[in-house]
Amino acid sequence: MKNKNIFYTLSVIVFLIFFYSFFLSAPSDFTPKTVISIESGMSLHGVSALLKNEHIVRSRVVFEFFMIAMRGEKHIISTNYFFENKIPVWQVAYRITNGEHHMAPVALTIPEGFNIEQIADASAPKLANFSKMKFLLETKDLEGYLFPDTYFFLTNTTDKDVVKSMTDNFNKKIYPLLPVIVQSGKSEKDIITMASVIEREAKGDTDRSVIAGILWKRISIGMPLQVDAASETYKTKGLPKNPIGNPGLLAIESAISPQNSPYLYYLHDKNGNIHYAKTFAEHNQNIKKYLLGK
């Protein structure tokens, strides 16, 4: 009787080892650091086939069993998944059910003042599924409304994902300022357009508000803006028709709350220092002194 119990125990152990080795564990030909992409809309059968073909799981049936047991067959999260090392099939099912991709996010920094073309050029090399052409089409009416910031995206992030993240961020940042914009008596578009000009014209945090005051003053007295950042402002009065880039928060706040000054002109010297003038004659003197060295 004792020998039979030992035999049955050993048989169970052997069976469990066999079952684990051939059904639950990762395949022997698994390649470490494998990345797979589960596309949106893929069925459970499609996912199991992909995992089998990529040597992530041994048995499609066992994987599907665990997915169903975890109620994950209706919650397959589409993204790129990074499998660093071998893991049992139930862990694979758990990760896909919960979207545990283990992908390191890609940092994408968009500086203040970048236009949509520059944003596209910065995004395309870092995001495999980003289409510059589609991005430019999707953002043709969004210049000024893509908030410059540092974003963290997965490598499979698309152009539409980037647009949504940047516009959502803009809306989040601008929302607290809406009452102040209304009080300023100016439209949101005019504020953003002016902010985009200020972002290009200013050289630092100290001169944004003063430049904003000068530019709004030029508009109020019917003088052309005459800013190098937007060449059309030398020929026509008022703001550019649309924003010329995507301003940051400080430029937007400067456009809303400009600093009054007695100045009407300004220039930056070769070192980036700003010099103001009350009259055109004084401005010409500054040009000769700081730009021409006379």
| Helices H / strands E in the chain, number of each | 12, 6
Residues 154 and 181 occupy one common structural domain? no
Q: What is the pLDDT of residue 189?
A: 97
- DSSP assignment, residue 227? B
User: Same domain, yes or no, for 71 and 168?
Assistant: no
Instruction: Give me the helices (H) in 20-56, please.
Output: 44-53
- Segment-wise mean pLDDT, segments of 10 residues, the chain, 294 residues: 48 40 62 84 90 88 87 80 86 88 87 97 91 96 97 87 96 96 96 97 89 97 94 94 96 96 94 93 94 80
C-alpha pair distances (Å), 229 with each of 62, 82, 132, 136, 148: 63, 45, 24, 21, 18
Do residues 125 and 173 touch, judged by C-beta distance below 8 A? no
Determine, yes or no, domain membership for 104: no
| Residue 228 lies inside a defined structural domain of this protein | yes
Quote the number of domains for the chain.
3
Give the closest residue to 55 by CA, choosing from 99, 89, 94, 80.
Answer: 89
Beta-carbon contacts of 61 under 8 Å, excluding residues fewer than 6 positions away, are none
- Under DSSP, the state recorded for 230 is B
Q: Both 131 and 187 in a single domain?
A: no
Q: What is the pLDDT of residue 99?
A: 86
Torsion 6-10-11-13 (CA) sign: positive
Same domain, 152 and 193: no
Q: By C-alpha distance, which of 196, 29, 36, 190 is closest to 112?
A: 196
CA distance 257 to 179: 13
Judgement on whether residues 264 and 180 belong to the same structural domain of the protein: yes
Report the pLDDT value the prediction gives residue 2, as an integer from 0 to 100.
52
- Distance of alpha carbon 101 from the chain centroid: 19
The pair phi, psi for residue 183, each rounded to 5°, is -65, -30
Q: Is residue 106 part of a domain?
A: no
Q: Are residues 47 and 116 in the same domain?
A: no
> What's the pLDDT at 22?
44
13 residue type, one letter: I
- Tens digits of per-residue pLDDT, 183-204? 999 999 999 999 999 999 998 7
In this prediction, residue 3 carries a pLDDT of 52
Give residue 159's pLDDT. Answer: 94
Type of residue found at 245 = G
Look at the pTM and tell me if it is higher than 0.85.
Answer: no
User: Of 146, 173, 200, which marks where a domain is finished?
Assistant: 173
The verdict on residue 169 lying in a domain is: yes
163 shares a domain with 67: no
Which residues lie below 8 Å from residue 202, measured CB to CB, with a gap of 6+?
208, 211, 251, 254
287 and 211 within one domain:
yes
| 278 inside domain | yes
Show the CA angle centred on residue 148, arms to residues 178 and 165, nearest 5°: 80
Asked if residue 142 is part of any domain, the answer here is yes
Residues 187 and 282 in one domain: yes
Q: What angle do CA 23, 25, 31 make, to 5 degrees?
A: 120
Residue span of the structural domain in which 139 resides: 112-173
In a shared domain, residues 202 and 226: yes
Examine residue 105 and state whether it is found in any structural domain, yes or no. no
At 174 the pLDDT is 97
Domain boundary among the residues 98, 120, 137 is at 98
Last residue of a domain, one of 76, 98, 120: 98
Same domain, 37 and 86: yes
Residue pair 106/153 in contact by the 8 Å Cβ criterion: yes
Q: Is residue 103 part of a domain?
A: no
